[in-house]
Structure 1
Amino acid sequence: MFAQAFMRRCELLTMLLEMARQGCARAPTAIDKALIASNLEVSAWTLNKWLKEAVEAGYVKAVLSKRGKRYLLTEKAVAELSTLVTELNHAIGGISRLTLTGRIFRGLGEGGFYVSLAEYREWFRRYLGFEPYPGTLNLRLDQDSAVKRKLLESYDSFRIPPASRGDRSYCSAQVFKAVVNDAVEAGVVIPEKTVYGPDVLEVVAGVCLRTALGLKDGDLVKVEVLLEKPVRVKPPTEGRVEAEL
């Protein structure tokens, strides 16, 4: 009984991973069933059976459109994949870094606004070790990296607590130390709330990354995220904030 349940979970996870690679973790996507079946070494009938079971179990949402059926991984599915990453991390002794790639695009300026807030700047300085340039480098991630970006949310990380000014409040954010293009120390910021989708990565650094690395919109950028255990940071003495790990 245990062996059967274990195999069914393995089948589910491998299928979800293949679907995530095709973009189903980001948006409803028309999947290449033939490719998935080939990669999993199963028949088309078996794959359709697994898909039906995954939809019924709440792991996958099937969306009908004029162009046919599209599939979206639910939060339940992403949680399963996150659990898998955690289990693998423990099993192999810990993954030290995760590499993400994406292309630069010009954002809406919200990142620069938050980075300019005194409370956030002080947290960045204390944890990352540099005074952040007043702006973020925005990357549109490829499909594999978008999945990794989503899985980052399950990792132990430093967390900037929410702050408030008068009647306005600002959300918390996860922060990871990182290196951009093997050259510049940086930080990856995952806000609790954002106007961007899960395929966008926001990066801060002590310099303007566009200028320092000669980057422009559309350029491909590599970001190595360091998965080290966050150290406890003494909170700033000013502002209504407290340390969080």
Structure 2
Amino acid sequence: MDEGMLLLRLARIGALEHYITLTTREFGEELGMSQQAASLYLKTLESRDLIERTKTRSGSRMRITPKGLELLQGLYEELRSILGVRRSVDVIGIVYTGLGEGGYYLSQKGYREQIKEIFGMDPFPGTLNIRLSRPDLPLLDLLRRGPGILIKGFISGDRTFGPCLCYSCEIEGEKGVIMVPRRTLHNDTVEVVSDRKLREVLLLDDGDEVHMRVNYPEVAEDEGTVSEDHGP
């Protein structure tokens, strides 16, 4: 089994966004091979700096490294060239209540005006917080890296507001915009912007499962550079 497929298996069980703890026996079962073979594969990935691994009493604590992610992205681009560019991807997530940060950021003129100009909507002053299901977590990192539509960062008063990438989406039949900050503490979350309060329109409560279709723009935007990222 080649390195790309091994990394893909690890990414599927969460090692792209988080550290995971796994025994060689469990990894062998995941791959359908012996514990000894799985151990050898992990040593190979570690020696080539494709995973970071620390042995613990309960197994190996590991995560895919930036070099490993680069390899996965190369495979992704190769598949896109073979299979054709995907125009959208379907994801599943769970609704939860955030800290109200979305409303604060959408109250900033710098964000609101760009959303109006690009997506033709006057955003409701609040976002719908969606925690992605585990199998869809690798997608979130790809969304952070593009090809999204750039909402540029700006300075307001004495504060710098960072850029984010956006994608149009449909969530349970309602149109919206997914905002993906370039840097965030919430590594499993997307925020959905709409011109309506989606919780009320879709009768959603915390813990409800929702299905979204995320649309890729036809032309990737130039992301530019921003010296500081403090939000949204």
Kept in 2: contact 1:28–1:71 (CA 8 A): yes
The 3 A distance-change label for structure 1 pair 52 and 108 is same
What residue is the counterpart of 1:48 in the other structure? 39
Q: Is the 8 A contact 2:144 2:182 kept in 1?
A: no
Q: What is the CA distance between 1:137 and its match in structure 2?
A: 1.1
Residue 186 of structure 1 is matched in structure 2 by 176
- Cα distance in 1 for residues equivalent to 2:220 and 2:72: 26
User: 2:20 is paired with a residue of what secondary structure?
Assistant: coil
- Residues 41-87 of structure 1, C-alpha deviations (whole Å, 9 max, x = no match): 54432222121111121111113445332211122222222222222
Say if 2:86 is the partner of 1:95.
Answer: yes
Q: 3-state SS of the aligned residue for 1:186?
A: strand
What's the C-alpha RMSD, in Å, of the aligned pairs?
2.0
Which stretch has the larger CA shift, 77-86 or 29-38? Answer: 29-38
How many residues align? The count is 221
Q: Deviations over 1:146-195 (max 9, x none)?
A: 111112233322111110012211000001111102x1011111112223
Superposed, 1:166-177 pairs within 5 Å as 166-177=157-168
Q: Runs of 5+ in structure 1 lacking a partner?
A: 1-9, 233-245
Distance 1:60 1:156 in 2: 25
Helix, strand or coil at the partner of 1:85: helix
Give the match for residue 226 of structure 1. Answer: 215
SS in structure 2 at match of 1:30: strand
Per the TM alignment, residue 108 of structure 1 is displaced from its structure 2 partner at its CA by 1.7
Q: Residues of 2 paired with 1:187 and 1:57: CA distance?
A: 39
Look up the match of 1:21.
12
Q: Is residue 122 from structure 1 mapped to residue 143 from structure 2 by the alignment?
A: no
- Aligned amino acid, residue 185 of structure 2: V
Give the 5 Å matches for 1:120-159: 120-159=111-150
Instruction: Write the distance in 1 (CA, Å) between the matches of 2:35 and 2:214.
Output: 37
Q: Distance between the aligned counterparts of 1:200 and 1:91, measured in 2?
A: 30
2:129 is paired with a residue whose SS is: strand
Aligned partners of 2:103 and 2:125 also within 8 Å? yes
1:29 Cα offset (Å):
1.1
Q: Deviations over 1:182-225 (max 9, x none)?
A: x10111111122231x2111111111111010001011111110
Aligned to 2:184, what secondary structure does the other structure show? coil
In the TM superposition, 1:156-167 aligns within 5 A as: 156-167=147-158
Distance change >3 Å, CA 43–CA 67, structure 1 → 2: closer
TM-score of the two chains, using structure 1 as the length reference: 0.83
Name the amino acid aligned to 1:56.
S
Distance (whole Å) between structure 2 residues aligned to residue 125 and residue 186 of structure 1 = 12
Contact 1:159 1:172 in 2 (8 A): yes
State the SS of the aligned residue for 2:123.
coil
Q: Percent identity?
A: 27
What letter is aligned with 2:59?
G
TM superposition score normalised by structure 2 = 0.87
CA distance in 2, matches of 1:81, 1:31: 20
Q: CA deviation at 1:111?
A: 1.9
